[in-house]
A and B are shown apart, each in its own frame.
Chain A
Amino acid sequence: MPFKRYIEIGRVALINYGKDYGRLVVIVDVVDQNRALVDAPDMVRSQMNFKRLSLTDIKIDIKRIPRKSTLIKAMQEADVQGKWDKSSWGRKLIVQKKRASLNDFDRFKLMLAKIKRSGLIRQELAKLKKESAS
């Protein structure tokens, strides 16, 4: 099983530890065996250990250490945020964030909706069972 996601210039990664936890960043240079230079549109360009990064499938086309404006343009052209939000990983994170921000009233409404949905499903199932039994 070869590796599919490589550390390379332009690789989009997710920070999984530290102050910027959860942020999407682009690897713009490799410092040494353990560290990369990492940049994002709303962040100061900084070095980060590879262990703090989780690589994603998304890669953009940039040269080594581009200017901030060039980076932002390249990210928009490749539609990094859009691709991320559509990917299953990205969608899971969005759902997690939504669930964490639910209010007590929202959780109550969610419970009612779940009960209603499962009720409808049970009705359909009962209908199907009846049909197959007869």
Chain B
Amino acid sequence: MAPPAHSSRSPSPSQPSGKGEVSDLKSQLRQLAGSRAPGVDDSKRDLFKKVISYMTIGIDVSSLFGEMVMCSATSDVVLKKMCYLYVGNYAKVNPDLALLTINFLQRDCKDEDPMIRGLALRSLCSLRVPILVEYLVGPLASGLKDSNSYVRMVAVIGVLKLYHISSVTCMDADFPAILKHLMLNDRDTQVVANCLSTLQEIWTAEASNSGEASRERDALLSKPLIYYLLNRIKEFSEWAQCLILELVAKYVPSDTNEIFDIMNLLEDRLQHANGAVVLATIKVFLQLTLSMTDVHQQVYERIKAPLLTLVSSGSPEQSYAVLGHLHLLVMRAPMLFSSDYKHFYCQYNEPFYVKKLKLEMLTAVANESNTYEIVTELCEYAANVDIPIARESIRAVGKIALQQYDVNAIVDRLLQFLEMEKDYVTAETLVLVKDLLRKYPQWSHDCIAVVGNISSKNVQEPKAKAALIWMLGEYSQDMQDAPYILESLAENWDDEHSPEVRLHLLTALMKCFFKRSPETRKALGIALAAGVADFHQDVHDRALFYYRLLRYNISIAERVVNPPKQAVSVFADPQSSEIKDRIFDEFNSLSVLYQKPSYMFTDKEHRGPFEFSDELGNLSTEANVSAQKVEADDKDLLLSISEKGDSGFPANGSAYNAPSYDSSKSLSASSTSSDLVILETGVLHQASPSLAIDDLLGLGLSTTPAPAPAPPLSLNPKAVLDPGTFQQKWRQLPISLSLELPVSPQGVAALTTPQALIMHMQGNSIHCIATGGQSPNFKFFFFAQKSEELSKFLVECIINTSSSKAQLKIKADDQNSTQAFSVLFESALSKFGML
């Protein structure tokens, strides 16, 4: 209970200096303390107000503690309230004095006025003084049985407060059991809601060290309770409705009838004016229908209008929160929103963060039928005076172009941007034209004609300059001035501050040299000399490498630097589909607005009720394995992994979310397709390292024409990793490779003693950190470390002996060596006779 203890920076002009006034107040309070004269309460009120106002502006009035407590013997509620406020503020720092208040607070807890009983109980529980907890138990117990609902409401939250001061006292008094009873029987809905919040918090905190607590927590999701709450949902306040809906979103109905019953019951919640209620309802709908593709799609259609209404009504802050969720849904299923694109047009007075979301949505929903209009609109923004938005708009146009709809017209537009002669427009456009050329080399002719006219002097931004230089190098045969432009850049080597640009300049000059050597020879010489002397390590290395390569054999050098290129078919999505699924699972939470899953921005105990299970606790189960069994297996596993067992939601993961988890994979077309994207690019990397993409990423070294044998991967036989770090890494890293392998009959037989496999893998420098499961599902977690680096590999290996399959998930610090590692891993497995 604390008005700020530190002083506010600009106090009101009447602010007193402090000491004199405080001692004045002290003596005045003394005089009034014993008085029973009529009107004394009014004078007390004035004095109390003064005390509180001093307290608010940061003057220390704790020396009045005794007098304040004495004066509190009154029936005047206003006085009492001020006194409680005062006591709550200073009790924590003055535990000895706090003891003084216990007496009168306890007395007030028995007052005949329920208002006073409630207030006193609340203040008593808010003292936060550990030594006083014993005094709380009695009043709390009678408060929970009070005939007045206000007192019960306060008492329930009081139990939670007590739990936070001393969990042992709270559990010993068996308060949770009383709350459980109240939750099911109290007439007052706010009492019920408070019981639910309190029990959720207590059981969640206890679940990590008590199996019973985790069962109790799971019992909150039992069918009778859920139905009990759902049937009365309209009697609850809008805030309590949110709480209940959040709980229902985690409930797994037994059949589709149940799903439809719940949805029909909650249908009208979508028309609520409170955005929080609507979003919580939407979450329920989305979670319930995950496994029913067509219904899920209908849900999207149904929630569109309410979401759009919420976005446009209410304060800008609220509409931002809703827009963030709309954004998530649009990104998941753009095709369902393609006719609503006009809603995503920007309004001139919207802040940057809103416009940015809208631009992303516009980009996502562009298809054959609306691209023309969307791009026309985006071009308006590109000319906008608002520079960051202009930039974003140009990028958006580029992204749409890369999505392949009506590229022809868009290329024209992009080229028109270059004619606008605004520096930032030119810069953004150059980057895009470069990407376009990598995907659609057939446009080179048109683009080159325009790009050739751009003076490199007008391009200052490193990214844009690098793009321009790349184009000059790549298309030097078509651009007459290319060698000369590059030469002048090379001559001004020292003025170029960005290493990225210098790297590109080296490579571009090399490419140019092989096409037009007489004109480039001099410039290349200058650049190589300057590059070798460069302070930047990468620039230095690349220059030296080129130099040696040229000396060794010019024709090999040409094959290295200028190999025949393939067009890039798909650019990798910066966010993995796994991350996206996690954010979706955490719908209606901060994860959506931050666009990252909760583990990235919050610590374990504060993930809130939204977090779904951890990867580790989420065995993908076979239908014939009962959920309970897996749950137990998992717990074993987790216990063996982490000593503390600090994993917040180990059990409910598989028990509640297994179906939803599975279906989320199969269901949303968008997410699976982006999975494919990642795999595809990954494969491309491996198959033809000569891709242009490598070159632009600054990996000039790897662009060997003939696939060089990958350096053999060697592992550190003595690698160490503690379980905590393993868990953390496992959570943070994306899956770089997942595959399924058939298991041989010998392998199945060998698993009767899993230890043998572990020993064998250790012999191959692949260490086992945890095992779990029972026949037919075995689960192993392995890790390995590169021999000369810290870079680690993590593997989850699930072997199902009845289906004779092994599922591998590999995560790696260094994604590029995953393939090599998986080869090692597989060969180790097959040496054991598994495969």
Does A associate with B in a complex?
A: no
A residues apposed to B, CB below 8 Å: none
